[in-house]
Amino acid sequence: MKLDDGIPAIPLWINGHAYFTVFETFIDIRDADSTVNYRVPRCGADEVERALVSAREAQSAWAEDLMLREKRLGDLAALLDQFGGDFAKLIARETGKGIEAARDEVVRAVAALREASCASGGSSVQAVFSNAVDPLASVAEGLARAWTAGDTAVVLSDARAPSAVFALAELSGRAELPPGVLCLLHGDASTHVELERALER
């Protein structure tokens, strides 16, 4: 989606697909060279609730099928490895890392997913918070923890480096992860607080 000034906004990912609605506020994403090429919406209580509903609806079936979880993690890791060069470019552009450091981050993200060992059980939704230093690896590690436990996950991107995280969400669709297993929100500290509060309710 493009705003009136032509700068595109990166969507959310809810219930297995890109999601957009009317937002009042957007956050500029400044690349390492300070260029603004994208924006993300600042999510509030409504978007947090929508993501949690989707994640909670998916959780029980996801927890029950251990073999499916292991296969889908492996499939996502393989796709991330396949498109690793593209992910490295996204990371380098937004974080300012050199391309080799960005590639190393992709390798760590692939390993986090590929080496995860699923356990039976799971009964909740976990919040996964990205960080701008290692946006992809931090999310992959958080997702691996949640999914191997049988939980679903709501990810909050760091608005300083959200592109690779959204690309991973898109890749989860290609890996045929069930809708709701991964939901992605964008925002700031207020969104972080809202998500934590909603999970406690």
* Domain 12-200 listed as CATH 2.60.120.10: no
Tens digit of each residue's pLDDT (9 = 90 or more) over 158-175: 999 999 999 999 999 999
What's residue 5's pLDDT?
A: 65
Lowest-confidence range among 75-79, 87-91, 120-124, 163-167? 120-124
What's residue 3's pLDDT?
A: 52
What's residue 201's pLDDT?
A: 84
Domain coordinates in residue numbering, the chain: 12-200
Residue 201: CB atoms within 10 Å: 6
Tens digit of each residue's pLDDT (9 = 90 or more) over 118-145: 888 878 999 999 999 999 999 999 999 9
